[in-house]
Structure 1
């Protein structure tokens, strides 16, 4: 199936594991930086990339757009599962910037044999596998063949008005992209959403700013209440923090562009902590991987895992394809995961389990059994969901006895996640043997008010090592509430630095001290991404273990007793 049309050929680069372009691929060079991925160190530039699907961050579409426009993209992308994040990046390049790469979905049986070949060619909807380099003077068409915009999706008068340009060029282009994505999602119609959360405000490079500024030039305005995800800098304090101008200026300009469109300056990757969080059953258009799975799974609101830039299109029209998790059928679990919570487990259990479950389920929505008596609360489910979304392509999960739609699920296939897999995940996330720690990073996703209170209690009466920095990221709203409650002042007395507006997946030096070689975090998401994003070794543990490391300068080398 042709998702984005075009002709290409090149050396075949394949893997049986999905790849998140955000945090997994350098947007300037096309080199794979995800140290947990089998393609780590490989360059995608000019090669035919074959992976089952994208996974992880919604910002992967932005990274692919950067690569297409800077000339370091794959020649083509070949997948075998449902995939929307990378497909959308190629569609935006085609529709908005008139250049793109082909994206093709093939049968799983064909995909399974890719390892036997070294080269591949995509010509329209035809996919050729070759043992030797293609011979001859074949050249791709000078102009990319544009994918057919005809679709079986039903368009009502509102949709037609957008497409005809009655609401301006920005909304017209947005609707064109929505129609193209609706065809990929096999949607039958469009629907209204009540709110949008934009992840496309993250600065991935010049292309992300060009896209937003083009929309501003076309007088773009959001049509529904719209919140903004964490941006790439602390907007109010990046200069004082020593962030370089070549990041701070364009990242702030990108945020300003979306504010000018009418979005709210929420700047948080945890919009479910805001007063505007949706209710059960509410149809919304959210991006940001952890926010999507939390909204769907814990709140019971309904959203797809919208790629960056499609979130913007939904905000500009208030319309979204009626498909996937917006429908009852798209929320059903197809896989049951049997787990057991170890006796004495601390809060590190939840991101570890989320990481294991996400790796097992891939694109399938799981029902997790065995945690009915765990009394998991919002913070535990937040940590679970963020780690789950880092390695899974699925938009939601169900946990029996805990999440609101779990009792309706009846999956037939079952898989057991043993304690040995939790131990293996611990080893994967602890990437260095040295116990020395120079930075404790907390707040990925953003800290909640309760987490601020817990941290304040943990550091009370303690003395931080002078050799360890402790940095917490959180949203402005949480920071203000925690300040009023006295939690921020108490933590700052210990030596904690609070950073708002941005989050750990965007932070680099000098917020991360240049001399730091190893950091410690309680986030399964950041433990996965940090080695590739910032080139540091990682120690992973619960919040109390992180505080201990902040005081001693050393992390516990052995896994905790409950895991052993």
Structure 2
């Protein structure tokens, strides 16, 4: 028996196939192989399944803003899902499909259905998306069906009010590149139900990460069309250390295109900042400033800790905002889009070390999903920028929400009055500990720091902790950080102290992009204090992970072994 349901068409088209469904959102970056379409997120229910040619049903995307780039690669290389079905607000994957449609005239349909429809979707084995309709069945659907011809939304019918400058961009008066950017912005604004666009003061671009040939093709196309950014624009960490990848033994087939991609964005006028922590730069925004940032941890930090205003923008929409200085007036740009919808009651255990913050962030993100949380119980924690950076990065890895509030800590928390309350206790954090500690052995071959990029204060703390210790010759220790932080730490003497211990510093890139040979082939287990990297590493680099505090990581670097059990405060 075939069931037919109506939905909201986000991207036009038709597709059918075996149905792969999950009630858990999926980050395509770090969660799906951009070459094959196989799910590599080892924490996800669909792990090791191929999405190619199948109808994928997930509540929404989550995690990294680079998911749009991965989906674009899959569409252009023929390994994309036949269609995507969601039930919550979703912009990252949708934007990847829109870029494929608008720029490359290839795409897949994206359909949003009601929650009650999605709740029952796991009962079926096959699905077809045709325009705004979803067909579900437990029998294979007819193979010779005629796809419906669904007209893509045009620039004229998106329902967004245009200012004079928007009209100028759309008509091509400001050049072809800006015209393409405005077309994509209008399509996304319509999906976000924005009535108009607005000015942004700065942009942070995550699309400079090399996901494959499509990412370079898109950027070089814009350069060829004379694209120039109109507002101050910073660049995220790229896929290689631009100044040192050859010395590190990185293969030419990655180093050359990844560097060329960075060069393309610099040619458009972006600053070669190459950091996933732009909030550490002198150009960091102020409270209330309207900005257009991509990169999940950066977005969450900007909104939550600084109180600047940005949506969680997907890759490729970031450069569209930079080329126009415009963004959809929706979501976190508005007061209403920044309101907490759930209160999470937590408790800081006595004696908790710095691993508490990423563990709590991971636990809270897993609970809240799309809901913006108000976190209660940390009023006396004295959380500083480094603790909030660690919390936010882990939170953003598993949540779709673009921000959080912490009572007594973050600047807008006192304005929040959510009615629903959920307890997040030690039990949830112990489960997070077990999920992030995936290695079967306590033998450690590499210690990883700097995901997100290390701050100046973290460099100072690391130097103080390793100054009188001796690292095992069998353990590598690598720190990733931005160029600006590295130079400041070098001038302060922290880099020299850390290097004397045996630390290697890598700039421009970050752990979500690093692989062999920077990670030695012989290393089977790595240790990190990053909840974000502990989540992604098993799928990205195929290594087991041990997670712990900074001191626990340094101890492991000296002994070659991680602690076998969780810390006492977690018991």
In the other structure, the counterpart of 1:180 is 187
In the other structure, the counterpart of 1:334 is 341
In the other structure, the counterpart of 2:199 is 192
> Of 230, 235, 240, which aligns to 2:237?
230
Q: Report the Cα offset of residue 138 of structure 1.
A: 1.1
Residues 99, 144 of structure 1: 8 Å contact kept = no
> Of 75, 83, 103, which aligns to 1:68?
75
Residues 66, 314 of structure 2: 8 Å contact kept = yes
Cα distance in structure 1, aligned partners of 2:375 and 2:134: 38
In the other structure, the counterpart of 1:520 is 527
Does residue 484 (structure 1) correspond to residue 491 (structure 2)? The answer is yes
In the other structure, the counterpart of 1:392 is 399
In the other structure, the counterpart of 1:135 is 142
Instruction: For 1:277-316, list aligned pairs within 5 A.
Output: 277-316=284-323
Residues 201, 254 of structure 1: 8 Å contact kept = yes
Instruction: For 1:350-429, list aligned pairs within 5 A.
Output: 350-429=357-436
Cα distance in structure 1, aligned partners of 2:570 and 2:131: 51
**Secondary structure in 1 matching 2:568:** coil
Instruction: For 1:14-25, list aligned pairs within 5 A.
Output: 14-25=21-32
In the other structure, the counterpart of 2:455 is 448
Residues 177, 310 of structure 1: 8 Å contact kept = yes
Residues 68, 99 of structure 1: 8 Å contact kept = yes
In the other structure, the counterpart of 2:247 is 240
**Secondary structure in 1 matching 2:204:** strand
Residues 517, 536 of structure 1: 8 Å contact kept = yes
In the other structure, the counterpart of 1:80 is 87
In the other structure, the counterpart of 1:10 is 17
Question: Aligned-pair RMSD on alpha carbons?
Answer: 0.8
Residues 100, 144 of structure 1: 8 Å contact kept = no
Does residue 540 (structure 1) correspond to residue 547 (structure 2)? The answer is yes
**Secondary structure in 2 matching 1:367:** strand
Cα distance in structure 2, aligned partners of 1:95 and 1:411: 40
**Secondary structure in 1 matching 2:570:** coil
Cα distance in structure 2, aligned partners of 1:319 and 1:3: 21
State the TM-score, normalized to the length of structure 1: 0.99
Does residue 35 (structure 1) correspond to residue 57 (structure 2)? The answer is no
> Of 198, 204, 214, which aligns to 2:211?
204
Residues 297, 397 of structure 1: 8 Å contact kept = yes
Residues 131, 150 of structure 2: 8 Å contact kept = no
Cα distance in structure 1, aligned partners of 2:195 and 2:170: 17
Q: Report the Cα offset of residue 151 of structure 1.
A: 2.0
> Of 128, 148, 152, which aligns to 1:146?
152
Cα distance in structure 2, aligned partners of 1:120 and 1:390: 29
**Secondary structure in 1 matching 2:459:** helix
In the other structure, the counterpart of 1:249 is 256
Residues 433, 557 of structure 1: 8 Å contact kept = no
Cα distance in structure 2, aligned partners of 1:135 and 1:262: 51
Q: Report the Cα offset of residue 557 of structure 1.
A: 0.5
Q: Report the Cα offset of residue 145 of structure 1.
A: 3.6
**Secondary structure in 2 matching 1:445:** coil
Q: Which runs of 5+ in 1 are unaligned?
A: none
Summarize deviations over 1:513-536 as a string: whole Å, max 9, x none.
110000000000000000000000
Residues 462, 498 of structure 2: 8 Å contact kept = yes
Summarize deviations over 1:72-111 as a string: whole Å, max 9, x none.
0000000000000000000000000000000000011000
Residues 467, 553 of structure 1: 8 Å contact kept = yes
Cα distance in structure 1, aligned partners of 2:276 and 2:90: 23
Residues 521, 538 of structure 1: 8 Å contact kept = yes
Residues 440, 544 of structure 2: 8 Å contact kept = no
Aligned pair count reads 563
> Of 96, 99, 113, which aligns to 2:120?
113
Cα distance in structure 1, aligned partners of 2:122 and 2:414: 41
Cα distance in structure 2, aligned partners of 1:356 and 1:433: 22
After superposing on structure 2, the runs of 4+ consecutive aligned residues of structure 1 that deviate more than 4 Å are: none
In the other structure, the counterpart of 2:3 is none
In the other structure, the counterpart of 1:92 is 99
Residues 68, 92 of structure 2: 8 Å contact kept = yes
Cα distance in structure 2, aligned partners of 1:43 and 1:135: 22
**Secondary structure in 2 matching 1:221:** coil
Q: Report the Cα offset of residue 122 of structure 1.
A: 1.1
Q: Report the Cα offset of residue 135 of structure 1.
A: 2.1
> Of 252, 276, 280, which aligns to 1:273?
280
Q: Which runs of 5+ in 2 are unaligned?
A: 1-7
Q: Report the Cα offset of residue 116 of structure 1.
A: 1.1
**Secondary structure in 2 matching 1:447:** coil
In the other structure, the counterpart of 1:508 is 515
Q: Report the Cα offset of residue 144 of structure 1.
A: 6.7
Q: Report the Cα offset of residue 550 of structure 1.
A: 0.2
Summarize deviations over 1:301-344 as a string: whole Å, max 9, x none.
00000000000100000000000000000000000000000100
Q: Report the Cα offset of residue 148 of structure 1.
A: 4.1
Q: Report the Cα offset of residue 136 of structure 1.
A: 5.0
Residues 292, 304 of structure 1: 8 Å contact kept = yes
